[in-house]
Amino acid sequence: MEVETNLAILVSGTGSILEAIIRERVPVAVVVADRECRALDIARNAGIPAELLERADFGANFDREGYTEKLTHVLKKHATGLVAMAGFMTFLSSEFFDAFGVRVLNTHPSLLPLFKGDHAVADALAAGATETGCTIHIATAKLDDGAILAQGKVAVMPGDTAETLHERIKEVERALYPQVLKDILSGNFALPVQHA
């Protein structure tokens, strides 16, 4: 059964995973960025509606609830039924997950529950891990938490830096995330009805 839902991708950076999602012909209704970034240009060049919802404040006074409300409004305007974060660097308030339920996904560059947070690749290296990878999971109001949908493993090589290791992890993310999204959109993969 075809699930009728618009897919929104949230981005902040390079956008190589967004690029892979587009290349794999996953239908993307809108791309929203919290800053000017290469990912936004990728969406524009692909002719996908691209919205810049600029985050002006990265300090302690950031109005997280206000930003989340504006983002929810933009996504609803585009009839979004599934949200995929792909390198999106703003942590959203819980109202976002109330609005979209389990239909918010994220990709994280570690084998969760190991190495949560913004420095997952460097942290895996520093811990002396011989293996790490990526996790596609349902996003919740808790950082890098939520049900795990798929994981891909990557071996840590001698001489790896955070950059070389992250790039090999991203190669796996570029294959895995589009596939998970395709499976959900085609109804081959059922998301749970509610958060575990």
Scanning 12-20, 25-33, 141-149, 183-191 for contacts with ligand GRF by CB under 6 A, the matching segment is: 12-20
Of 75, 129, 173, 185, the residue at the interface with ligand GRF (CB under 6 A) is 173
Look up residue 127 and give its two tokens: 């811990």
Q: Are 169 and 176 in contact (CB under 8 A)?
A: no
Query: In angstroms, what is the minimal distance from the CB of 88 to ligand GRF?
Result: 7
Residue 17 makes contact with ligand GRF by CB under 6 A: yes
C-alpha angle 182-186-188 in degrees, rounded to nearest 5:
90
- For residue 2, give every residue at least 6 positions away whose Cβ sits within 8 Å of its Cβ, in sequence order, or none: 185, 186, 187
CA atoms within 13 Å, Cβ hemisphere of 144 = 18
Residue 132 makes contact with ligand GRF by CB under 6 A: no
Of 7, 8, 16, 184, the residue at the interface with ligand GRF (CB under 6 A) is 16
| Helix, strand or coil, per DSSP, at residue 90 | coil
Annotation says 166 is catalytic: no
Which residues are annotated as catalytic?
Answer: 108
Residues found near ligand GRF in the complex (CB under 6 A): 13-18, 39, 86-87, 107-109, 134, 170, 173
